[in-house]
């Protein structure tokens, strides 16, 4: 992997998710979820530089900026933007609006849809001179139930030669127990579901066990301050006290930048 210089920004978008990954030498970029288009618009000078969009799932706080993005792409774009996305079962106004915008973009020929399953041939995506690996869900375990939509959330690992970032989407505790533990080890963990309690059922994995499995140096939680969901959960707060060697960062304190320069990495709040 050449051009080993990346800037990964996890944006403060309130209670939601938006992550932009940029290859510094060639300005190519990738998006993982998009709650707010206006947050990232100043960071993408040319939409032709956007090479891929991953939509982890169809909840409003992960997708509400996608219509604005698609309407900004030129109709005569040479390369279709690949969007990794799985079927929608949620019925809400925003999700239906995004679905219409995606169909219009397909008809215009500016995007292409790619299924995102961990047991398919395209689960390893070479892009930006790095690799995106889809860890979850396998097609064989995809749940056709809107009440369990979080269990369908795409889990992605971004790999450079020297560094790994695990993006947990909104995947719950029962999902993490099914994954290969070797696949979820990472230097940075983008904590799932905004810091919510991982398992509601007795005997499910808790935050402390999860951190033991991932073994991160940094944990990033995207949530708003004084939100209506009591995020971060008490179990995550307790784990933060327990794991004093891990640095925890919250987007309610501002955008968070991960600066990767070969073997050297810095993680902190954007200046």
Sheet holding 247-250, edge to edge: 124-127, 130-136, 155-159, 164-167, 188-190, 218-221, 247-250
**How buried is residue 102: exposed, middle or buried, by Cβ count under 10 Å (0-12/13-18/19+)?**
buried
Are the beta carbons of 183 and 157 closer than 8 angstroms? yes
pLDDT (tens digit, 9 = 90+) per residue, 8-59?
999 999 999 999 999 999 999 999 999 999 989 888 878 889 999 999 999 9
Phi–psi pair at 149, nearest 5 degrees: -60, -35
Quote the domain boundaries for residue 29.
5-269
Phi–psi pair at 37, nearest 5 degrees: -65, -40
Helix, strand, coil shares of the chain, percent, nearest 5, are 30, 25, 45
Percent of the chain with pLDDT over 90: 76
d(CA 209, CA 193): 16
| pLDDT, mean of residues 83-107 | 89
pLDDT (tens digit, 9 = 90+) per residue, 215-252?
999 999 999 998 999 999 999 999 999 999 999 999 99
d(CA 241, CA 228): 23
pLDDT averaged over every residue in the chain: 92
| pLDDT, mean of residues 90-111 | 90
d(CA 36, CA 123): 27
Q: Which residue has the tokens 């933007």?
A: 81
Are the beta carbons of 6 and 24 closer than 8 angstroms? yes
What integer pLDDT is reported at residue 215 of this predicted model?
98
pLDDT (tens digit, 9 = 90+) per residue, 130-165?
999 999 999 988 776 667 788 889 999 999 999 999
What integer pLDDT is reported at residue 189 of this predicted model?
98
Q: Which two tokens stand for residue 243?
A: 């794991």
pLDDT (tens digit, 9 = 90+) per residue, 153-207?
999 999 999 999 999 999 998 899 999 999 999 999 999 999 999 987 776 799 9
How many distinct structural domains can be found in the chain? 1
Are the beta carbons of 133 and 159 closer than 8 angstroms? yes
Residue 76: pLDDT band (50, 70, 90) is low
Q: Which two tokens stand for residue 135?
A: 């860890």
- Given a cut of 50, whether residue 1 has pLDDT beyond it is no
Identify the CATH number of the domain in which residue 166 sits: 3.60.15.10
What integer pLDDT is reported at residue 77 of this predicted model?
64
């Amino acid at each position: 992997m050449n051009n080993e210089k990346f800037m990964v920004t996890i944006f403060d978008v309130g209670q939601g998710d938006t992550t932009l990954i940029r290859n510094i030498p060639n300005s190519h970029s990738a998006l993982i979820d998009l709650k707010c288009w206006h947050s990232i618009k100043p960071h993408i000078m040319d939409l032709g530089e956007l090479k891929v969009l991953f939509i982890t799932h169809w909840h409003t706080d992960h997708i509400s900026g996608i219509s604005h993005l698609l309407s900004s792409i030129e109709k005569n774009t040479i390369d279709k933007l690949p969007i990794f996305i799985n079927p929608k079962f949620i019925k809400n106004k925003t999700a239906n609006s995004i679905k219409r915008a995606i169909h219009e973009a397909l008809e215009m020929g500016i995007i292409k849809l790619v299924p995102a399953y961990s047991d398919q041939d395209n689960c390893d995506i070479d892009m930006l001179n790095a690799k995106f690996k889809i860890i979850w869900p396998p097609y064989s375990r995809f749940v056709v139930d809107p009440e369990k939509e979080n269990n369908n959330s795409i889990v992605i690992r971004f790999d450079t030669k020297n560094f790994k970032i695990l993006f947990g989407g909104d995947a719950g505790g029962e999902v993490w127990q099914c994954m290969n533990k070797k696949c979820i080890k990472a230097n940075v963990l983008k904590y799932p579901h905004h810091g919510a309690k991982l398992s509601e059922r007795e005997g499910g994995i808790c935050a402390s066990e999860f951190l033991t499995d991932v073994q991160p140096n940094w944990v990033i939680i995207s949530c708003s301050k004084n939100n209506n969901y009591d995020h971060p959960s008490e179990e995550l707060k307790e784990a933060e006290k327990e794991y004093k060697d891990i640095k925890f960062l919250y987007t309610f304190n501002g955008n968070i930048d991960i600066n990767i320069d070969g073997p050297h990495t810095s993680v902190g709040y954007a200046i």
